């Protein structure tokens, strides 16, 4: 067996083990939301639910790194994964902002979904960050754009099991469980593929000077 095929098997095993953790956390999260809420447990459930959004985004970003062949224990990948966690967890703060209260009774009575749950708006912001990173030749901003996309997509996808997606002004039907699992586990592969296509296209279209700039930032095409 060649070294390359060994690496491929290790990569597949890593992907399978992280994807399995992702599914276990998702199932636990679903179970959590079916628990009857009382004034005592409602804050714990809301906080745990928000943390589950974070964990799913963070594991999804690790899967993106695995697909790109990056070592997931490197500091930079762990920081990126933490950023995905914080971004996905922060999205639910819009409920509090729109209700102007931390009282869960008031928060749960909002007539519309809050603005950070508008998928078309958040996708536009993600694509803008990715584009700004490219235009300013700033690979940190560019990478954050993909992290932001992973965080919002995994968060909105999980919410869509109950509420569907909100593509302003339209709402879709709730996403069936099988489609949720399929999309959640394949999204990192698609994200990684898109990242490589964008990076290759960008570097091919630009002069060698741009290549030098990227290399000066200690980032090459393998890492994009």
Binding site for Zn ion (CB under 5 A): 92, 159
Tokens of 183: 């999309």
Q: How far is the CB of 30 from Zn ion (least distance, A)?
A: 14
Q: Which is nearer to Zn ion, 92 or 98 (CB)?
A: 92
Q: Are 180 and 160 in contact (CB under 8 A)?
A: yes
Taking CA atoms, 201 is separated from 130, 135, 160, in Å, by 14, 13, 33
Provide the token pair at 78.
Answer: 């762990």
**Minimum CB distance to Zn ion, residue 159 (Å):** 4
CB of 20 to Zn ion, least distance (A): 24
Q: Which is nearer to Zn ion, 80 or 159 (CB)?
A: 159
* Cβ proximity to Zn ion, 107 vs 199, nearer residue: 107
Q: Which is nearer to Zn ion, 113 or 142 (CB)?
A: 113
* Cβ at position 218, least distance to Zn ion in Å: 36
Rank residues 77 and 151 by Cβ distance to Zn ion and give the closer one.
Answer: 151
> What's the min distance (Å) between Cβ of 62 and Zn ion?
21
């Amino acid at each position: 067996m060649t070294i390359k095929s060994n690496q491929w098997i290790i990569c597949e095993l890593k992907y399978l083990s992280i994807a399995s953790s992702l599914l276990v956390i998702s199932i636990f999260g679903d179970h959590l939301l079916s628990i009857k809420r009382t004034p005592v447990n409602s804050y714990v459930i809301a906080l745990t639910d928000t943390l589950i959004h974070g964990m799913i985004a963070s594991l999804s970003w690790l899967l993106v790194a695995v697909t790109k062949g990056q070592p997931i224990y490197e500091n930079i990948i762990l920081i990126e994964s933490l950023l995905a966690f914080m971004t996905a967890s922060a999205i639910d703060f819009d409920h509090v902002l729109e209700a102007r209260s931390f009282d869960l009774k008031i928060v749960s009575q909002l007539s519309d979904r809050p603005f950070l749950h508008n998928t078309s708006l958040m996708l536009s912001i993600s694509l803008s960050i990715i584009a700004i990173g490219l235009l300013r030749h700033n690979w940190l901003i560019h990478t954050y754009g993909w992290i932001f996309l992973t965080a919002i997509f995994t968060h909105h996808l999980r919410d869509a099991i109950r509420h569907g997606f909100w593509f302003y002004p339209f709402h879709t039907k709730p996403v069936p469980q099988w489609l949720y699992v399929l999309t959640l586990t394949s999204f990192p592969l698609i994200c990684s593929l898109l990242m490589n296509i964008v990076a290759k296209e960008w570097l091919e279209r630009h002069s060698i000077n741009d290549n030098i700039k990227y290399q000066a930032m200690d980032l090459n095409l393998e890492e994009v």
